[in-house]
Structure 1
C-alpha cells in the first residue's frame, strides 16, 4: 500500500469513524483552536509587564500565578503562543510569542541549573525557529544544547536532572526524556555531533534502569556518581515508589516515541509501544482522562490529571504513524481522539479562568497544584489539536 493511499484511508477513518466532520458538528477542531486563541487573549490582558509568564491557576481561583524565566515551566506559555501562530498565521501571536520567548534568552548563556532547558528553550525558541527560521533563535537553541550537555555524566550514562536535589547521588527523572529532543535537533542543525550520542546514551540507560517489570515508570532513579550503578528508584510526585504516576508514564511514552523519530532505532519504537500498552491497559476511566496516579488509594475520589491525558494523546498520534499494525494504529488514534474530545467537552476552562483546561495535578504529595489549571496541560492539548488537524488535511 503506497503512502498516499495510506493517508487517504487514515483521513477517511478520522472523518467517518471519529466524527470530526463539519456536517454533524460532533467535534470541530477549528472551534477548539478558536477557543484556545480566545482564552490566550484573555490571559495576555492580565500578564504583568515584568518578564514573567503564567504557570498555574489554583482550584476555585480565576487568577494566574506567574513565574520568571528560571521556572521549569517557563517555556510552555511562549510555546502555546507559537502554536497559535502556527494555527492562525496571525502576526499578533508571532509578536507575543517572540516577546515571551526573549525573556528566556539568559538561559542559553547561564550555567545549567537543571535538565529542563529543553522544556524551556525548545518549546519556545524551537517552535519559533521551526515557524520563522529566525537565525537568532537557532543560535540560542544551539548554545542551550551545549549548556544542557554539561549535566551529562558519562560514568552513569544520563543527564543529571536536579543538581541541588535532596536525594543524594546522580539523579535522573523520567521527565528528562522530553529534553533530549533539544540535543537531537542541535546535533543535526550545526551543533556538536556528540550531542546525538549523549541523547542516545541517556535514552538507552533510562530504558534499562527506569522501569519496573510491567513497564511502568519510576519518577526518579538514583545512581552512584562514580560507578554509575543504579541505587534505587523513587516516585517522588506519585503515590508511592511502586505506583504508576500518570504524568511520569506520559513523559515516557512521548519521550521514547520522539527518540525513535530521531534515531529510527527499532528498539526505541518497540519500547514506546510497551509503555503505551501498560498505560492504555490500566486506564480504567470511561473518558480516558487518568487519575493523577493509577494506584492512588482513593480512586474514584482522587484528582484527575488532564495534563497526562494531553501529553499521551499527542504522543499516541505520533506513535500511530510509526506502526504498520492496522489494529494497533486504529486503537491509538481512536483512544487519542477520545482523550481530546473528552478534554474539549468536559475539561475546558471557559468562564472559570483563562487557561485552556481544568483538572490537572502537579505534585499531590507536596500539596502543590492539585486539581488546577497548568500551562503544560494547555501546551500539549494545543499540540494534539494541531497534530489531529494535520492528519485531517
Structure 2
C-alpha cells in the first residue's frame, strides 16, 4: 500500500506514521511536512524512529499539487482542524472529476477534551475519521448524525504509539533505582509560575526521595517547536534557579516509549504519555495541584482513579487506572487496527465519491474563505496566486529556520530575563 502522511508537527508525524506502519506493515510511507511554526527538525523526526520512503516540506497548496498523490492509496491528514479542512478543500479541487483518488483519513493525536464539535466538523468530509476509543466513537456520532454527516465515516481504532510491552511491578532495580518520570507538556500549564511550581515540586520530590531517580521528560529542546508553543522551557527555568539541582534529578529527551521502559511511576498533568503508561499497566499520577480544569485537560482523567497531587506522590502514592475506564478509553485494545483495515479495504475496492467538506463557500462563506486564504487557497480550494511557486530552495529554507529559531530563542530565553529584571 502506498501511504502519504501530511503532518504539521513531530507529534502528528508520530501519530500518522505510526498508523501507517501499524495498519499496513511493510507499506511504502511518504512524509509531507507542512511548513509552519511547528515544522519538526531532523532531530525530532529521528526521535520518532520511523524512516519514510521520502520526505518533503511544503505549503498546503504545494502538497495538494504533488504529482505523487495520483498513485497514493491512502492519505493520512495529521494536522490541526483548520489545516485538515483546508486540505480537504484543496484535495477536492485536485481530484474533481478524476476517475481515481486516494482514501482520505484523519483523526486526533490524543484525547479530545476541548473544541470537540469544532474539530469534528472541520474534519468532516474525510472518508475516515478515527475515534481512539468507544467513548470517542459515541461522542463523535452524537455530533455527526444530527447534522446529516454519515456515522459510517467514524472508525474505531486506538492511538498507534501505545506500546505492547507490559510493566512488571516485580522487576528488580539492579540497573537503576525506582524511577519517577514527570512527562511535561509544552503548554500545560502555560504560565511561568505554574511551570516553575511543577519544576520545583519535581525537584523537591527528588530531594525527599534520594533513593529514587526523577526524570523530567522534555518534548523539545530550547529553540525547537512542537505541536504547541512552549514559552517557558523547563530546562531554561532550571538554569535560572539559584540552588543546585539534586543529583538524582535528570532532564531527558528521546523516545517516550524508551523512557517508559525504565519508569515505575509516570507523573503528568494531562500528557498522552499517561495513556501510554496506563496501557502498560504502569502506576500513573494525574496531577491536580493546579486544579482539575478543562484548560489543563486533566478533567478527562477524572474517572480513571489516577487523579492525585505531588504531596501524595511524596508520601508514596502510585495509583493504577481502573480497568473499566481504560477499556472505554480504548487504552488496552487487543486488535486496534482490525476494523480500520476492513474499512480501508472496502473503500479501495470501489469508486470513491467526490470529496465533500462539511463547510462550503455557500454554507459558511466567511468562515471557509478566511480559513482557506490563510493557507494560500482560493474559496474553491484551488491554489491562490503564486501559492504553488516553489519557494523552498536552500537559501529561503535556511532563512526561515534562522528566523524561527531566533524567535523561539527570544520567547524562551530573552523574555524571561527581561521579566526578571523588570520584576514581572
In which range does the TM-score fall when normalised by the shorter chain? under 0.3
Q: TM-score, with normalisation over the residues of structure 2?
A: 0.22
Structure number with the higher helix fraction is 1
Greater relative contact order (CA < 8 Å, ≥ 6 in sequence): 2
Structure number with the higher strand fraction is 2
Q: TM-score, with normalisation over the residues of structure 1?
A: 0.24
